[in-house]
Amino acid sequence: DVKVTQSSRYLVKRTGEKVFLECVQDMDHENMFWYRQDPGLGLRLIYFSYDVKMKEKGDIPEGYSVSREKKERFSLILESASTNQTSMYLCASSPSTSGATDTQYFGPGTRLTVL
């Protein structure tokens, strides 16, 4: 089974803090994704990565950055957390863009609250 893990299930931070959310997948997937999920807005893509050290902006990258130094790990960074970044953050991975499937497998999510 594909396993995607996220470093924290719940996180509370203060405005202005730098926040790191970590994601690890164990299936040697090439693609990794960060989403945020908010009521009424569904899943919105923040950043994604097709390969190590490669990243591309998604639909809502403002206020976020990412890092992918190793294939299995994809980190989301909030440079200076703000209250409007309070949300559920979901990490996902998928095999490859050149493969026959685009199925994304999700981690359990991190519920971040910024005070």
Partner 1 sequence: GESVGLHLPTLSVQEGDNSIINCAYSNSASDYFIWYKQESGKGPQFIIDIRSNMDKRQGQRVTVLLNKTVKHLSLQIAATQPGDSAVYFCAENRAPNTGKLIFGQGTTLQVKP
Instruction: Determine which residue in the list 25, 31, 85, 87 makes contact with partner 1, applying CB under 8 A.
Output: 31
CB of 42 to partner 1, least distance (A): 5
User: Nearer to partner 1 by C-beta: 43 or 77?
Assistant: 43
Segment 76 to 105, residues that bind partner 1, using CB under 8 A:
90, 94, 96-98, 101-105
SS3 track for 50-90: CCCCCCEECCCCCCEEEEEEECCEEEEEECCCCHHHCEEEE
Instruction: Determine which residue in the list 34, 47, 48, 74 makes contact with partner 1, applying CB under 8 A.
Output: 48
User: Contact between 108 and partner 1 (CB under 8 A)?
Assistant: yes
110 bridge partner residues: 89
Is the CB of residue 59 less than 8 Å from the CB of residue 34?
A: no
68-71: long-range pairs with CB below 8 Å, 24+:
68/32, 71/28, 71/29, 71/30
Q: Which residues bind partner 1 (CB under 8 A)?
A: 4, 31, 33, 40, 42-43, 45, 48, 50, 58, 90, 94, 96-98, 101-109
